[in-house]
Amino acid sequence: MSEKRTELSELGEFGLIDKLTKDFKNKNAATIYGIGDDAAVLERDEEHYTLLSTDMMLEGVHFNLMYMPLKHLGYKAVSSNVSDICAMNGTPEHITVSLAVSNRFPQEALEELYEGIAHACEIFNVDLVGGDTTSSVSGLVLNIAIMGKVKKTDVVYRSGAKENDLIVVTGDLGGAYMGLQILEREKEVYKANPNIQPDLDGHDYILQRQMKPEARTDVIAMFSELKVKPTSMIDISDGLASELLHLAKASDVSCQIYDDKLPIDAKTSMTAMEMNVNPNTAGLNGGEDYELLFTISQKDYETIGANPNFTVIGYISHKGEGSHIVDKNGAAIELKAQGWNHFKD
């Protein structure tokens, strides 16, 4: 080890990845696009590319088994990987599951985890084709790798957004984050007094958004039916603001969005206000909704604008302008990524 010591928190996750992978050169003609999008794009056959992506989840970092049932964890892990394939406008096909567990888990607990995985495989039409199972000296670690495919003419990258394109999101935002806040609140109540039952009543929608997020394979099918090909796309895992900035950077443009356009479900808003959180903050910075963020050229506005699955939230502008969120009074605030920095305490 060299003597210089640079703390990981100085760089953050994305800075670290850039730093570690900058010297890697692709040598393989089959590598069409490597690091830097939701999935790698690899040569397959005359008409198709293969997509490859992976995600690691650790107990105590990404989930807390105190309130996350193992069945839901399995489902969510698959769903979040499927979402990466969707973000390339592709279809998921196969997953591998690597699992590390300590002796404190009985076999029955792992069966629950795999039930959730199996259920997600069923829903998303994916096959579990391999994996690795090993022991852990501490918590549970789950890594999923996913393979999918996409027609060469259909693949969508983060980098294709053009000036004047419209910015669109699917579904609604902030629900998963508010669901997590409710779970955290009830965990604290429980820790203070284990005899008190958790009060989760009336929060079904946001709890489901947190515990059982659904990758938008339906939207990918819709694009095909509607004959719309987004100019760029990314999935919303870390939070809208963070993903907008990724998309802007990859496309060498800026994003302008309107805060009154953010699609926030009434149940998310109510919980946010109840907990003294600005609903728009939940929508902008809350992660794990696994909705899709994409851009379309203006000619597709008629097809997309009226569809209840989609909300146009802004437009793409020249890079020099900087990315902003504009409020009702026209005041523009610079967009900042408040998504997780895994290396900060």
Q: Which of residues 94-113 bind its own copies (CB under 8 A)?
A: 94, 96, 98-101, 103, 105-112
Q: Token pair for residue 227?
A: 């004959």
Which of 34, 40, 42, 37 is CA-nearest to residue 233? 37
Output 12 or 322, the one with its CB closest to its own copies: 12
The 3-state DSSP class for residue 40 equals: strand
Q: Which DSSP state fits 338?
A: -
Output 32 or 270, the one with its CB closest to its own copies: 32
Query: Crossing angle of helices 175-192/266-274, nearest 10°?
Result: 40
Shortest spacing between CB 182 and its own copies, in angstroms = 22
Output 61 or 275, the one with its CB closest to its own copies: 61
- By CB under 8 A, the residues from 140 to 179 that bind its own copies are 141, 143, 145, 147, 149
Backbone angles phi, psi at 288, to 5 degrees: 70, 20
Task: Work out whether 296 is an interface residue with its own copies (CB under 8 A).
Answer: no
Backbone angles phi, psi at 333, to 5 degrees: -110, 135
Distance CA 307, CA 200 (A): 32
Residues 52-91 as x/- pattern, contact with its own copies by CB under 8 A: xxxxx-x-xxx-------x---------------------
Task: Work out whether 93 is an interface residue with its own copies (CB under 8 A).
Answer: yes
Shortest spacing between CB 79 and its own copies, in angstroms = 15
CA distance readout (Å), 268 to 186, 238, 325: 17, 17, 20
Residues 39-58 as x/- pattern, contact with its own copies by CB under 8 A: xx-x-xxx---x-xxxxx-x
Shortest spacing between CB 257 and its own copies, in angstroms = 27
Strands 324-326 and 332-334: antiparallel
Task: Work out whether 198 is an interface residue with its own copies (CB under 8 A).
Answer: no
Q: Token pair for residue 322?
A: 């900087």
Distance CA 53, CA 79 (A): 12
- By CB under 8 A, the residues from 316 to 345 that bind its own copies are 342-343, 345
Distance CA 146, CA 323 (A): 32
Task: Work out whether 202 is an interface residue with its own copies (CB under 8 A).
Answer: no
Distance CA 206, CA 178 (A): 6
Residues 248-287 as x/- pattern, contact with its own copies by CB under 8 A: ----------------------------------------
Distance CA 243, CA 170 (A): 14
Shortest spacing between CB 211 and its own copies, in angstroms = 16
Residues 112-141 as x/- pattern, contact with its own copies by CB under 8 A: x-x---x--xx--xxxxxxxxxxxxxxx-x
Shortest spacing between CB 290 and its own copies, in angstroms = 15
Stretch that binds its own copies, among 26-34, 178-186, 284-292, 306-314 (CB under 8 A): 26-34
Task: Work out whether 197 is an interface residue with its own copies (CB under 8 A).
Answer: no
Work out the end-to-end distance of the chain between its first and last CA atoms, rounded to an integer number of angstroms: 24
Shortest spacing between CB 71 and its own copies, in angstroms = 10
DSSP codes, 248-284: HHHHT-EEEEEGGGS---HHHHHHHHHTT--HHHHHH
Shortest spacing between CB 164 and its own copies, in angstroms = 31
